[in-house]
């Protein structure tokens, strides 16, 4: 190893806990004798050579903050041979020995293209969707689910006072993890997931039963990828409005919609996300130190593991059958 410099970037959607991961890369990198640089705005910034230095002061006040101090961006240019060349050139000019990429599967595809050009790369899964294969959890998921549960707790006060049905739309265009976990955790009466057919007649039967049993209010959790127009988020054509209209007509009930939207992305990371971020980042730096490349760190059954990124990208993350079964047993699926 000639150079002692490593760099870290955040890419794709921001997720709470990314800052804790950046901090841990810095601290662990320093401890292992590396100079640690940041790259602003993901691969877009890499193409521009937007390297920034860290100091203990800049790392002092970030562990508890959501978002990413390095900023995140998406870059179409990076996907082109010319963009990749520029990024490669900037890494060479800055004499970077290894690059740590925090993001989702798209970001790992980007990392893989750099690794194919001989850059030592390691990926850290950071996305609230929890849709990355080969790891049980991604950084940000726990915080996002807690945010949903807190929001539903507040909605329940109004739902109860006015004896209403609330349809709550949560993020998840292709992945129902957030809807499934939050639906179970907040005791939803029905959970609709993109992975399963949406049987709205069954949902109405359940809600009728609840009304017969003198339940005064109900919560239905809908992932944004369920039916609806995928381009029509936050509008009357979105999944939640379609579900609410159907239920409202069938049950002749005043049904309200709440779309949580980007609220779910922000907020102070939970303890679970801070610990996960710190563990994964520390292992990522170790891998670079060991000269290992093209790997993603993750957690499986409570243990930190590392897997070839090529392997991760071959798979599709599916929902855990045990939680679907649990949702069924609880009468919500
Ligand atoms: P999220 O799950 O939050 O959307 P993500 O990492 O999957 O995160 P993407 O927008 O898919 O987000 O990817 C982030 C960036 O990674 C892209 O803007 C692009 O620069 C790079 N990238 C994505 N796919 C590829 C690819 N096939 N080849 C090279 N780079 C890619």
Percent of the chain with pLDDT over 90: 87
Dist. CA 244 → ligand 1 center (Å): 33
Is 67 a pocket residue for ligand 1 (Cβ < 6 Å)? no
Is the separation of the CB atoms in 228 and 239 below 8 Å?
A: yes
Q: Return the higher-pLDDT residue of 210 and 71.
A: 71
Segment 271-282, tens digit of pLDDT: 999 999 999 999
Q: Is 129 a catalytic residue?
A: yes
- The bridge status of strand 5-10 relative to strand 98-103 is parallel
pLDDT tens-digit readout, 63-79: 999 999 999 999 999 99
C-beta of 127 in contact with ligand 1 (< 6 A):
yes
Whole-number pLDDT of residue 228: 59
Residue 3: which pLDDT band, with cuts at 50, 70 and 90? confident
User: What is the reported pLDDT for 235?
Assistant: 59
How far is CA 29 from each of CA 1, 16, 98, rounded to the nearest angstrom?
Answer: 14, 21, 11
Neighbours of 1 (CB within 10 A): 11
pLDDT per position as a tens digit, 290-320: 999 999 999 999 999 999 999 999 999 999 9
What is the Cα–Cα distance from 88 to 269, expressed in whole angstroms? 33
Nearest to 188 by CA among 153, 239, 213, 236: 153
Q: Where are the alpha helices (DSSP H) in the chain?
A: 18-31, 42-48, 56-59, 81-93, 105-116, 141-162, 177-185, 200-212, 239-251, 271-289, 309-314, 321-329
What mean pLDDT is predicted for residues 131-136? 97
Answer whether residue 289 shows pLDDT above 60: yes
Instruction: Give residue 231's pLDDT.
Output: 58
* Ligand 1 atom closest to the CA of 103, numbered from 1: 6
Burial 155-169 (b: 16+ CB within 10 A, else e): bbeebeeeebbbbbb
Angstrom distance (rounded) from CA 111 to CA 301: 26
Identify which of 16, 77, 109 to mutate to test ligand 1's pocket (most ligand atoms within 8 A of the CB): 109
Distance CA 311, CA 105 (A): 12
Stretch among 174-183, 222-231, 235-244, 249-258 having the lowest mean pLDDT: 222-231
| Whole-number pLDDT of residue 216 | 82
Q: Are 222 and 189 in contact (CB under 8 A)?
A: no
pLDDT of 124 above 90: yes
Which tens digit of pLDDT belongs to each residue from 164-203? Answer: 899 999 999 999 999 999 999 999 999 999 999 999 999 9
Q: From ligand 1's centre to the CA of 17, what distance in Å?
A: 19
Nearest to 280 by CA among 14, 22, 16, 5: 22
**Average pLDDT over all residues of the chain:** 94
Percent of the chain with pLDDT over 70: 96
Q: Which DSSP symbol is given to 38? A: E
Q: From the alpha carbon of 74, which atom of ligand 1 is closest? A: 18
The pLDDT value recorded for residue 236 is 63
Enter the pTM of the model.
Answer: 0.95
Of 78, 68, 69, which is closest to residue 46 (Cα–Cα)? 78
Kindly give the interhelix angle for 18-31 and 271-289, rounded to the nearest 10 degrees.
40
Q: Is the dihedral of CA 281, 287, 288, 293 positive or negative?
A: negative
**307, 134 contact by CB (below 8 A):** yes
Q: Which atom of ligand 1 is nearest to the CA of 129?
A: 2
The whole-number pLDDT of residue 16 equals: 98
Name the pLDDT band for 237 (thresholds 50, 70, 90): low
State pLDDT tens for residues 77-112: 999 999 999 999 999 999 999 999 999 999 999 999
């Amino acid at each position: 190893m000639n150079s002692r410099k490593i760099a870290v970037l955040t890419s794709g959607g921001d997720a709470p806990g990314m800052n804790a991961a950046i901090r841990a890369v810095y601290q662990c990198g320093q401890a292992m004798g590396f100079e640690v640089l940041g790259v602003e705005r993901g691969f877009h910034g890499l193409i521009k050579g937007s390297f920034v230095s860290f100091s203990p002061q800049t790392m002092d006040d970030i562990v508890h903050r959501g978002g990413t101090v390095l900023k995140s961006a998406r870059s179409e240019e990076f996907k082109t041979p010319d963009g990749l060349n520029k990024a490669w050139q900037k890494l060479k000019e800055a004499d970077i020995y290894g690059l740590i990429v925090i993001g989702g599967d798209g970001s790992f595809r980007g990392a893989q293209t750099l690794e194919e050009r001989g850059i030592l790369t390691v990926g850290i899964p950071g996305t609230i969707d929890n849709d990355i294969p080969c790891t049980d959890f991604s950084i940000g998921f726990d915080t996002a689910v807690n945010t949903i549960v807190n929001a539903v707790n507040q909605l329940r006060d109004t739902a109860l006072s006015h004896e209403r049905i609330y349809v709550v739309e949560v993020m998840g265009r292709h992945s129902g993890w957030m809807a499934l976990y939050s639906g179970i955790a907040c005791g939803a009466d029905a959970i609709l997931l993109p992975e399963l057919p949406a049987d709205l007649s069954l949902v109405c039967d359940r809600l009728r039963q609840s009304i017969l049993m003198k339940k005064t209010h109900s919560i239905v959790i809908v992932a944004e990828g369920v039916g609806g127009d995928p381009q029509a988020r936050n509008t009357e054509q979105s999944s939640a409005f379609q579900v609410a209209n159907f239920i409202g007509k069938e049950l002749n009930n005043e049904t309200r919609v709440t779309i949580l939207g980007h609220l779910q992305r922000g907020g102070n990371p939970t303890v679970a996300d801070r610990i996960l971020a710190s563990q994964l980042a520390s292992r990522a730096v170790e891998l670079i130190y060991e000269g290992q490349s093209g790997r993603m760190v993750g957690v499986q059954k409570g243990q930190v593991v590392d897997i070839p990124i090529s392997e991760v990208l071959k798979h599709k993350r599916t929902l855990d059958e045990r939680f679907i079964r649990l949702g069924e047993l609880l009468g919500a699926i």
